[in-house]
Chains A and B, each alone.
Chain A
Amino acid sequence: MNTVAAIDPRHAAGQRLRERAFRAATFVAAVLVLLLLGGVALSLLIGSWPAFSHFKLSFLTREVWNPVTDQYGALAPVYGTLVTSLLALLLAVPVSFGIAIFLTELAPVWLKRPVGVAIELLAAVPSIIYGIWGLFVLAPVLQRHVQPWLIDTLGPLPLVGRLFQGPPFGIGILTAGFVLAVMVIPFISAVMRDVFETVPDVLKESRYALGATTWEVIWQVVVPYARSGIIGGIMLGLGRALGETMAVTFVIGNAHRIGSSLLAPGTTISASIANEFAEAVGDLYTSALIALGALLFLITFSVIAVARLMLLRLARKALSPL
């Protein structure tokens, strides 16, 4: 049947037509991915235009956020976004590094997979779950046990002391950073684990043969080799933390101001949008919130782009290891 069909010219023409149609369909879908990103950027630009043209550059430098008088500035949410994300990295990077080392260099084979999967499941838990857990479980614990201790021991110190003064609210910048840290640990440790596994065994074994301990091999061979991958993983975690919405909305306290203390309530870009957007009345108010979204897009886009380029560099190196 097929031999006859193959020399039937009508059949061949039909095949060519289907080939072209299928190819075109995959091409259109692939280009759609590009258009999505372009569409997102364009719609944010258009939506934020009224706010940017009204407030000009002062939108970026003012702390005021007052829907009644229609005055908006992005400083407090931008500050909150950056500080919570940096706090999250400060807490999450050492833990993720430890997990990646445990999974690649230390764990016996039978333990690797279950522990690895359990850490990955931490990433599958939806962010709203982190939110209610943070608000009802973590915040009270921090308020009762951790924050009073921070206030007593770090509060009186010069310079850094200001960060740890004031009443222990439970919710606030610090708690948001803590929840974000738990959320980004699985992302950072997964990337670190993968890049540690690209280190050629020959390199590690040579160092072992010279009498190095496991830790020395990790610190002197694995880490330098995988450096750009490690940075890429950290940046990827940063990208996650910057854009995370629901978990932060629950625990940040939603106050449009910049407190000198990390214990004080604050807000982030995504939390402001989540809280206020559906109820925003007036074109300027809506536009100001979309302008916040545009800023967030700009920040996360650059962070993620750098992260991907770093990881790409390591992938190229892995192709030609020595």
Chain B
Amino acid sequence: MSRRAVRKVTNLVALALSGLATAIGLFFLGAILWTLLRNGLAGMSWQLFTAMTPPPAGSGGLLNAIYGSAAMTVIGILIGGPIGMLAGTFLAEYGRAARLSTLIRFVNDVLLSAPSIIVGLFVYELLVVRMGHFSAIAGAVALAIIAIPVTVRTTEDMLNLVPQGMKDASTAMGAYHWRTITSVIYPAARSGIVTGLLLAVARISGETAPLLFTALNNQFWSSNLAAPMANLPVVIFQFALSPYPNWQRLAWSGALLITLSILVLSISARVVVSSLNNGGRR
């Protein structure tokens, strides 16, 4: 083969392989979704949303786990969201160039990819040991700690997208910085910040490891935040590894439920971002 032909063939093979790699990635997403649908759809019924988790042989649903997951996720984002937004505001507005901000950005990036089970251990030492028992509030705090770095990052990015001219205009009117931030910058970046919060919710609502020894689990209905509380991820973990067919069926239904909600959250967050970007370009 001539040198030219060799180069052409190499090119084709390399590009074909990159297409193949993409196909492999998409195949795994398809395989996982298909498995979930096939095993989880059968258990989808009203009972899933109206009955408590059953004993090994009985029939039941996931109501207490769904409630527990929703409650802890909401409390987690209520704690973590505002802290993350304020910290992101500091990085984008007050301390943009400060040395301290560089350090905080770096530490935030580390926290963003830190193993979530370590967060579980930290909250265990911080709250569970002191309270003397597992509790829903400890679970919520663990989720909040995971939500904070996500919110800090998205808030800072979104505030930086607000045109400098708008900020200057507000300052020129005699507004103090806090007034500019709350009345001009926040409204301008609103949909971006909401997206960040949605992504944070998506991230924490599937977390299992940090709940294992903070909220633990609960076979029964409980709305007491100071007591252990059932939650979808830990119930899935426990039921999927059990030898009982009815528990395994519930685990698959729970898995389908949680994955679908997270995918819907992530996709809607992206839709918001892309409409925002298109709006900004015009």
Residues on A lying within 8 angstroms of B by beta carbon are 6, 15-16, 18-19, 21-23, 25-34, 36-37, 39-40, 43-44, 46-47, 94-99, 101-103, 106-107, 113, 115, 117-122, 124-133, 135-137, 182, 185-186, 189, 213-216, 218-219, 236, 239-240, 242-246, 249-250, 270, 273-274, 277-278, 290, 293, 296-297, 300-301, 304-305, 308
Check A213/B11 contact, CB under 8 A, given A29-B83, A95-B25, A132-B236.
Answer: yes
A98 touches B20 (CB 8 A): yes
Q: Which residue of B lies closest to A124 (CB)?
A: B266
B233 touches A126 (CB 8 A): yes
Task: Enumerate chain A residues within 8 angstroms of B103, measured Cβ to Cβ.
Answer: 34
Interface of chain A, main secondary structure: helix
A36 touches B87 (CB 8 A): no
Number of A-B contacts (CB under 8 A): 268
Task: Enumerate chain A residues within 8 angstroms of B35, measured Cβ to Cβ.
Answer: 133, 136-137
A128 touches B87 (CB 8 A): no
Contact bitstring B243-268, A, C-beta under 8 A = 1, else 0: 00000000110010011001100110
CB under 8 Å from chain A, chain B span 95-111: 95, 100-101, 103-104, 106-111
A40 touches B8 (CB 8 A): no
Check A33/B216 contact, CB under 8 A, given A43-B125, A99-B25, A308-B110.
Answer: no
Q: Which residue of B lies closest to A236 (CB)?
A: B113
B114 touches A300 (CB 8 A): yes
B255 touches A132 (CB 8 A): yes
Bound CA–CA A216/B6 (angstroms):
12
Q: Which residue of B lies closest to A275 (CB)?
A: B212
A245 touches B209 (CB 8 A): yes
CB under 8 Å from chain A, chain B span 1-34: 7-8, 10-11, 14-15, 17-22, 24-26, 28-29, 31-32
Q: B65 at the A/B interface (Cβ < 8 Å)?
A: no
Check A18/B106 contact, CB under 8 A, given A29-B83, A39-B126.
Answer: no
B86 touches A300 (CB 8 A): no
Task: Enumerate chain B residues within 8 angstroms of A46, measured Cβ to Cβ.
Answer: 125
Q: B206 at the A/B interface (Cβ < 8 Å)?
A: yes
Task: Enumerate chain A residues within 8 angstroms of B236, measured Cβ to Cβ.
Answer: 128, 132
Q: Count residues on chain B whose CB falls below 8 Å from chain A CBs.
A: 92
Task: Enumerate chain B residues within 8 angstroms of A304, measured Cβ to Cβ.
Answer: 109-110, 113-114
Q: Which of B44-52, B56-64, B177-185, B187-195 contacts A (4 or more CB under 8 A)?
A: B177-185
Whole-angstrom distance between the Cβ of B116 and the nearest chain A Cβ: 7
Q: Which residue of B lies closest to A22 (CB)?
A: B178
A274's partner among B36, B176, B209, B252 (CB-CB below 8 A) is B209
Bound CA–CA A250/B241 (angstroms):
8
A34 touches B104 (CB 8 A): yes
Q: Which residue of B lies closest to A182 (CB)?
A: B28
Task: Enumerate chain A residues within 8 angstroms of B270, measured Cβ to Cβ.
Answer: 117, 120
Whole-angstrom distance between the Cβ of A183 and the nearest chain B Cβ: 9
Bound CA–CA A28/B10 (angstroms):
56
Q: B149 at the A/B interface (Cβ < 8 Å)?
A: yes
Q: B119 at the A/B interface (Cβ < 8 Å)?
A: yes
Bound CA–CA A136/B255 (angstroms):
13
Q: Which residue of B lies closest to A240 (CB)?
A: B113
B208 touches A40 (CB 8 A): no
B121's partner among A96, A126, A129, A273 (CB-CB below 8 A) is A273
Q: Which residue of A lies closest to B145 (CB)?
A: A36
A26's partner among B14, B29, B89, B145 (CB-CB below 8 A) is B89
Task: Enumerate chain A residues within 8 angstroms of B7, measured Cβ to Cβ.
Answer: 213, 216
A126 touches B259 (CB 8 A): yes
B11 touches A216 (CB 8 A): yes
Q: B138 at the A/B interface (Cβ < 8 Å)?
A: no
Q: Which residue of B lies closest to A243 (CB)?
A: B115
A98 touches B21 (CB 8 A): yes
Check A121/B181 contact, CB under 8 A, given A186-B25, A300-B114, A300-B115.
Answer: no
- Among A101, A103, A216, which residue has the most Cβ atoms of chain B within 10 A? A101
